Amino acid sequence: MGWWTVGDVGAHLAHVVGLDLEAARGRGAEAALDAQGVTAPPHIRKLHYMTAALLDRDPVRDPAEQAGRIEAGIAALLDECEEGDRLVPWLLGTTISRAAVCSHQVCEMLVHGWDIARAAELEWTIPSDLACVAIEGFILALIGELGTTDPHNELLASCEIRLRGGGRFVLALTQAGPAVFAPRDRVDLRISADPAAMLLVMLGRGSPLSRVLSGRIVAWGPRPIRGMRVFDAIKAP
C-alpha cells in the first residue's frame, strides 16, 4: 500500500466499513464501488488500485472525523446483522457470510491499529480471541472462496497451523492455487502459533522468523522452507 499517513489509514478504514455495510445489506461491495465510479478489483493482487482510488476521491483526513464515520458505520453494520446470518455478495466475485463480513471488520481494525501504533511508537495489543476471529472467521473463509476445495490437487506446499486457544487447519498451495484443508498426517511444516503473531504474519507484517525467535511461533516439520511458501501465496497486497 506504500506510505500512508494516519489520516490515510483512517480514511481507508471508513471506506472499508462502508463497503462491508453494503455487502451486509445484500447489495454487495462491488455495487457500492460502481456507484462511486471506482472499478472493482478483478483479483486480490489488484486491491491496492481500489484503495488508492477511494482515497483519491475522499479529501477528509482528520482522524476525529474519520473515527466518527467508522463508529457510525460499524453501528449500522451491527444493526444490519441483527436479523441473522446469511450469504451476501462481497468483493472479488465472492459470496461470504455476514459473519465473515463482520470478521473482516475485526481483521481490518486489528491490523491497521497495529500499523498506526507502530508508526507512532505506541503500545497496541491484539487480543488472541479477536485474532482468531479475524483468521478463522474471515481469512480462512476468503481463501476457501478464492482458492481450490479439491483435496486431490497436487500439493506444492503445506503447513498445518495450530492456533493457541483456537482451531487447527492446513494451509496449502496447490497447482490450482491456495487452499484450506482439514488437518492431515503428512504436511511439510507444522506450526503452533500465538493467534496475534500468526495474524500479522498472514498479513505480511514482519518476518515469521522474528516470531519464531520470540517463541510466539513454534515450527517443526520435514520440509520447513517448502512449507513456508504457503504464506507467500496468501499474503495480502
Q: Mind listing the pLDDT tens digit for each residue in 63-89? A: 899 999 999 999 999 999 998 999 999
Domains and CATH numbers, the chain: 6-124 (no CATH), 148-234 (3.30.1050.10)
Give the whole-angstrom CA distance, residue 206 versus residue 201: 6
Q: What is the pLDDT of residues 134-170, one digit of tens each?
A: 999 999 999 999 877 776 778 899 999 999 999 999 9
**Would the pTM count as exceeding 0.75?**
yes
Buried-state track 80-91, b at ≥16 Cβ within 10 A, e below 16: bbeeeeeebbbb
C-alpha cell at 33: 464501488
